[in-house]
Amino acid sequence: MGIGGCIALIAVGAILTFATDWHMSGVNVDLVGLIMMAVGAIGVAAYVSIFKRRRLQTVRGGVEPVVEERRYYE
């Protein structure tokens, strides 16, 4: 699930929680919306964390520069 899916989960959860007044027997729609928003927020946090880590590795190049040391003795 990418960043778009996480944002969609947050949006659908917010709609279920705040914009609907459905009542289903045995299902609390408000709670389902809150759970969807929480899962979306956790997904966004995880995605950003992983993306940030990948970006840092790419920027650094992943390879240390070669340092050549020469010693001259007299």
pLDDT the model gives residue 4: 92
Burial class (CB in 10 A: 0-12, 13-18, 19+), 14: middle
Distance between CA 21 and CA 29 in Å, rounded? Answer: 9
Structural tokens at position 7: 């944002």
pTM score, whole prediction: 0.67
Q: Are 35 and 5 in contact (CB under 8 A)?
A: no
pLDDT digit string (tens) for the chain, length 74 residues: 788 999 999 999 999 999 988 888 899 999 999 999 999 999 999 998 887 776 655 555 556 677 888 888 87
